Structure 1
Amino acid sequence: MTDNNKSGLCEIKVPDVGNVPSIDVVEVLIKVGDVIEIEQTVATLETDKASMELPSSAAGTVKEVFIKAGDKVSEGALIATVIVADAGQGDADKPAAPALVAAPPVDTAPKAPVVEAPAASAAKAVTAAAEPVAASTGVKAHASPSVRLFARELGVDISKVSAGSGRKGRILKDDVKNFVKKVMAEGAPATVAGIPSIPAVDFSVFGETEVQKLSKIKRLTGQNLTRVWLNLPMVTYHDEADITDMEAFRNALNAEKGKDEVKVTGLMFIIKALVAGMRQFPSFNASLSSDGESLILKKYFNIGIAVDTPNGLVVPVLRDVDTKSISQLAAELAEKSAKARLGKLMPADMQGGCITISSLGGIGGTAFTPIVNAPEVAILGVTRAKMQPVWNGKEFVPRLMLPLDLTYDHRVIDGAEGARFMAAIRQNLSDIRRLLL
């Protein structure tokens, strides 16, 4: 985002990144006197959901830089000023969009209750007993918002962390970790709800090893999936759909398309079949309220599609799919998948999903157990279709069968409803004329 004045001075500011109140400055890639080009990355920013590259929207010479690594900024904050090469150039008026490097599934719907990690619950269990050791000083703890959030996630009252090891006594994440370790060593239970912690192992004693840091997306995705696994009683139902006629129609449709037109994949028909099923069974297009007392039914149909990228799995969301044609969905998915692999998805591109499709059809497999992308209540897995002999009452005939795997939140959906929902999807795919009803 830039603002120009009459002297040709351009201001680069933090653009809209999707209602994120606090953004960490990870790296500043420019300095005073640098000559930069349009779209050149000037800084790397990071939220708790994504890492973003902030590009320059003007070419020129950097006059002043207002941020440094470790700072926290928000939307509209001034990053730098640039003396533009041409004060009248139109590109300087274009807002700069941050490029998303990686992000886990994000949603703005109500979140399911979170079961605490063993360390968090253990810390809470003995916090009162540990007060004489690390009692509150009565003075507000000196810590950054990210450290306060980290402490809350572990169930630690940060005011009980007596002293910080950072500059001027600032409390760091290591201080919070050490506090938890100390409290646990003084008598915290070793397990939570019967779940023991996994002991650390020095694998180097068995042979040569190499330590490879996980990408941020994999770390955050892992945390999210762990929360889901601990919170949701999940059931996976497996079935197969006869897509012989659907594939024949799809191939005929693609044969009519020009060389440069986006081809239609089977996933587009699966999306349409899924929406038809969600209309018939509204509980699949819902989220459980945070208190677990109510079901929030959604009147819109946004479908998340899991996309594999070099940095990990991301889930761009196709919005209002019930109002779009097969060809429109194919073009939109191709565009968003390309942006995902290039690390250019915006946070808003991955918000608001109602249900997710995870397709391994291009790789293989016969079945798997996808994990629900909470606060959604179900996810549909798809593996590779194959020709099989199917008995039609008189003889075996070759039919193209598509394996489907439906995982759902058993608190919201019971087994009979899950089976009926899958049957509806199977019927819609076996005879796509049903999608016109």
Structure 2
Amino acid sequence: MHDIRLIRQDPAALDAAMARRGIEGASEPLLALDAERRAAIHAAETAKAEQNAASKQVGAAKAKGDEAEFERLRAEVAMKKGEVAEQERIAREKDAELAEILMGLPNVMADDVPDGADEEDNVEVKRVGEPRSFDFEPKEHHELASAAPGLDFETAAKLSGSRFVLMSGQVARLHRALAQFMLDTHVTENGLTEVNPPVLVRDEAMRGTGQLPKFSEDSYQTTNGWWLVPTSEVPLTNIVAGHVVEESYLPRRYVAHTLCFRSEAGSAGKDTTGMLRQHQFEKVEMVSVTHPDHSDAEQERMLGCAESILQKLGLPYRVVKLCTGDTGFGARRTYDIEVWLPGQNRYREISSVSNCWDFQARRMNARYKPTDGGKPEFLHTLNGSGLAVGRTLIAVLENGQQEDGSVVVPDALRGYMGGLDRLEPVTSN
């Protein structure tokens, strides 16, 4: 969220920042509303002062026995009281309108983010690992003889509709092994604190991380008003909502494995086969809360944490820096990690690591108290997938596939699979 005081001081800076996001003239309606709000506040304060002055004179008029002046002053007090109430009502309305517009404006881009319209303008940072050469035509994950029987889209559709999958057998076990492996790596090697958060959250939590009000259609809301989390970024980041923490408390580094839910609004016709794009999926999510001076370094650290999972699994990937047109609403800078999928013969996103600076902290009123004194300042928050479990499963299946339809299990996962080193083709019932 943006600070209206800073916009008031330098509206051109906001306009230039929002222009990079494709939003023109952002400051004008904000400043107009702000002027109306401030005028109403001033009018309320003036009327209140006049009300107080008249109230003091009422007693004096009564003591003098001046009935006419007494009644006139009483009427003036009542009138001023009404003026105060009306101007305060206007101020509240304008404040709410202003807050809603501010809530709907995206974060400011970092200077090093490349300008661009969409994913075609993202900039590749590096590639790690060479895609495997196959002496046969590689298949997609849902076509493999060892995986297809454990990926039941038909039954899932009967139960829940499209974009769901019912996993079973060795595929379900491999999926579970991946999540456990990711958690263990992040906790024991990367120094993150494991959290098991709720996956139902209030409006305030969704607003704090930027899902509301702008993106309500992208998430699911229950009949009693709770929201199903699109990612555990929401509960993890909101741990510090409304708090002023000691500077020594920072950084806080969290990791959680949860179910996630997305409506996939606007994705009709995209990735309709297989389990690449689902309404319900699982992610191992990382969230960091840091001192403002350290957030850029923390983003690089988090990127390394996510990459370490792919490196341990032996999966080829590339890192891209997202351009202005492809960067998410709440992010100031985002790196995507894209894993190589031989069945599609292309790289596909498996993680996004974003630095939100103080954008979410302002929405949540999350601050820290400097060790050397001074007023509390806003924290910086970051989030990143470490990794999307289902997409990692896809990558393991496709990269490890053999000509007979079996899949070689990466060394890093065999301990989680009871020593199993290969998924063998099975007969579907």
- TM-score, normalisation: structure 2: 0.29
- TM-score, normalisation: structure 1: 0.29
Q: Which has the higher contact order (CA 8 A, sep 6+)?
A: 2
Of Structure 1 and Structure 2, the greater helix share is in 2
The higher radius of gyration belongs to: 2
Of Structure 1 and Structure 2, the greater strand share is in 1
